[in-house]
């Protein structure tokens, strides 16, 4: 049997999650601040609650997907959470996740924080590779494992309610750096007779080929030895950076996206670590 669930927050992502449960036959109650956004789901069979408190009262499993952590507090302020299982798909920081877990516990609810690694079109498509990091109550996660797996894959990352957000933000941060590099690369070739589509294929192939080096970084961190298995030492890399910067200048492209990382590499080299990989930069980032 499929448990009833209530879903609050029908933005782009929330609607995709709610729709996936509805399509899978789960009895669903929805609520959204702007009521018009609930109409399409109502037409597909969802029950629409008039208030957030009414939506919470309608099911034991309550899922929220709102703009930010503050809106979660606002929306649930008047709701009776005693005995509820609350799952929060709203993006927040690790500290917000932990604070929200304490807040929920004080109101008598079990709590699971989520970090969504998917964009709306990936939700409900089992082949998309999209998934959600979950952390917090293991009992809640296990009790609803099948339900939670309906819209997207699930990865439970521990009882610390902050860890879903931490994993989420760490992956997004790495993605930011990657897209910074992608922006610089396209800027370099842009004015030349190089077809962007063909170049994109080369770029994607190269990024895929380089991605597995994250495992070497992990090994070096675990060993505490950043010279283990080095194939491109830092001294060579820093020398190569000069060529990257000079090329940017020749092509009339700002190096502002590359410069901060290169400065850290230079500092690590200046500290006498030319025989390492780039892993030592991680030490320089720790405050
Ligand atoms: P949208 O901007 O599409 O929707 C935001 C939702 O939050 C709406 O339902 C909005 O209600 C509601 N909301 C905002 N402020 C308040 C408030 N003060 N009180 C009540 N309701 C409020 O965002 P998404 O659905 O795209 O994203 C939701 C969450 O999911 C965010 O935390 C986002 O970071 C995260 N996320 C989004 C992804 C994406 O690709 N879209 C991917 C991964 C995570 P109203 O309709 O009334 O404005």
pLDDT in tens, 231-271: 899 999 999 999 999 999 999 999 999 999 999 999 999 99
Q: Ligand 1 centroid to 75 CA: how many Å?
A: 12
Measured in residues, the chain has a length of 287
Q: Ligand 1 centroid to 207 CA: how many Å?
A: 31
In ligand 1, the atom with minimum distance to the C-alpha of 16 is 25
Is there an atom of ligand 1 within 6 Å of 258 CB? no
pLDDT band at 222, cuts 50/70/90?
very high
Instruction: Answer yes or no: is pLDDT of 1 > 90.
Output: no
Instruction: Answer yes or no: is pLDDT of 177 > 90.
Output: yes
Cβ neighbours of residue 269 closer than 8 Å, sequence gap 6 or more: 234, 235, 238
Provide the pLDDT for residue 144: 98
Is there an atom of ligand 1 within 6 Å of 33 CB? yes
Contact 21, 7 (CB under 8 A): yes
Burial class for 205, CB neighbours closer than 10 Å (0-12, 13-18, 19+): exposed
Is there an atom of ligand 1 within 6 Å of 91 CB? yes
- At residue 180, φ and ψ (nearest 5 deg) are -60, -45
Give the pTM.
0.94
What mean pLDDT is predicted for residues 161-186?
Answer: 98
Provide the pLDDT for residue 287: 85
How far is it, in rounded angstroms, from Cα 151 to Cα 141? 15
Provide the pLDDT for residue 206: 98
The residue to which tokens 């020749």 are assigned: 250
What mean pLDDT is predicted for residues 183-204?
Answer: 97
In ligand 1, the atom with minimum distance to the C-alpha of 33 is 47
Q: 5-161 — its CATH code?
A: 3.40.50.720
Is there an atom of ligand 1 within 6 Å of 65 CB? yes
Distances from the Cα of 264 to the Cα of 12, 32, 42, 234, 273, angstroms: 38, 46, 54, 11, 12
Cβ neighbours of residue 38 closer than 8 Å, sequence gap 6 or more: 10, 30, 31, 32, 46, 48
State the complex-level ipTM: 0.98
Q: Please, what is the average pLDDT of the chain? A: 97
Provide the pLDDT for residue 188: 98
Domain ranges of the chain: 5-161, 167-285
Grouping H, G, I as helix, E, B as strand and the rest as coil, residue 198 is helix
Contact 94, 163 (CB under 8 A): yes
Is there an atom of ligand 1 within 6 Å of 10 CB? yes
- At residue 35, φ and ψ (nearest 5 deg) are -60, -30
Helix axes 163-189, 234-250, angle to 10 degrees: 50
Among 1.10.1040.10, 2.60.120.10, 1.20.120.160, 1.20.1250.20, name the CATH number for the domain at 167-285: 1.10.1040.10
Is there an atom of ligand 1 within 6 Å of 41 CB? no
Q: Ligand 1 centroid to 150 CA: how many Å?
A: 20
Is there an atom of ligand 1 within 6 Å of 27 CB? no
Strand (E) or helix (H) holding 8: strand 5-8
Provide the pLDDT for residue 68: 98
Is there an atom of ligand 1 within 6 Å of 71 CB? yes
Is there an atom of ligand 1 within 6 Å of 13 CB? yes
pLDDT tens digits, residue range 28-65?
999 999 999 999 999 999 999 999 999 999 999 999 99
């Amino acid at each position: 049997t499929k448990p009833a669930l209530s879903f609050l927050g029908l933005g782009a992502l929330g609607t995709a999650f709610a729709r996936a449960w509805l399509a899978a036959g789960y009895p669903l109650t929805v609520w959204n601040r702007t009521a018009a956004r609930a109409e399409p789901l109502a037409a597909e069979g969802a029950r629409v609650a008039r208030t957030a408190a009414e939506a919470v009262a309608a099911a034991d499993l309550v899922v929220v997907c709102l703009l930010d952590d503050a809106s979660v507090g606002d929306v649930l302020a008047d709701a009776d959470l005693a005995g509820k299982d609350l799952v929060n798909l709203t993006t927040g920081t690790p500290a917000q996740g932990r604070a929200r877990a304490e807040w929920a516990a004080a109101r008598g609810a079990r709590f699971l924080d989520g970090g969504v690694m998917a964009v709306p079109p990936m939700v409900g498509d089992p082949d998309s590779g999209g998934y959600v990091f979950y952390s917090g109550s293991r009992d809640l996660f296990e009790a609803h494992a099948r339900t939670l797996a309906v819209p997207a894959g699930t990865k439970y990352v521990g009882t610390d309610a902050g860890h879903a957000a931490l994993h989420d933000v760490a992956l997004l941060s790495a993605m930011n750096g990657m897209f910074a590099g992608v922006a610089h690369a396209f800027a370099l070739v842009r004015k030349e007779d190089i077809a962007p589509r063909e170049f994109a294929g080369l770029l994607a192939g190269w990024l895929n080929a380089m991605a597995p080096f994250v495992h070497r970084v992990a090994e070096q961190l675990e060993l505490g030895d950043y010279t283990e298995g080095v194939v491109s030492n830092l001294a060579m890399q820093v020398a190569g950076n000069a060529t990257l910067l000079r090329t940017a200048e020749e092509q009339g492209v700002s190096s502002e996206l590359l410069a901060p990382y290169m400065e850290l590499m230079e500092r690590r080299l200046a500290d006498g670590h030319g025989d390492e990989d780039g892993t030592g930069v991680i030490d320089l980032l720790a405050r």
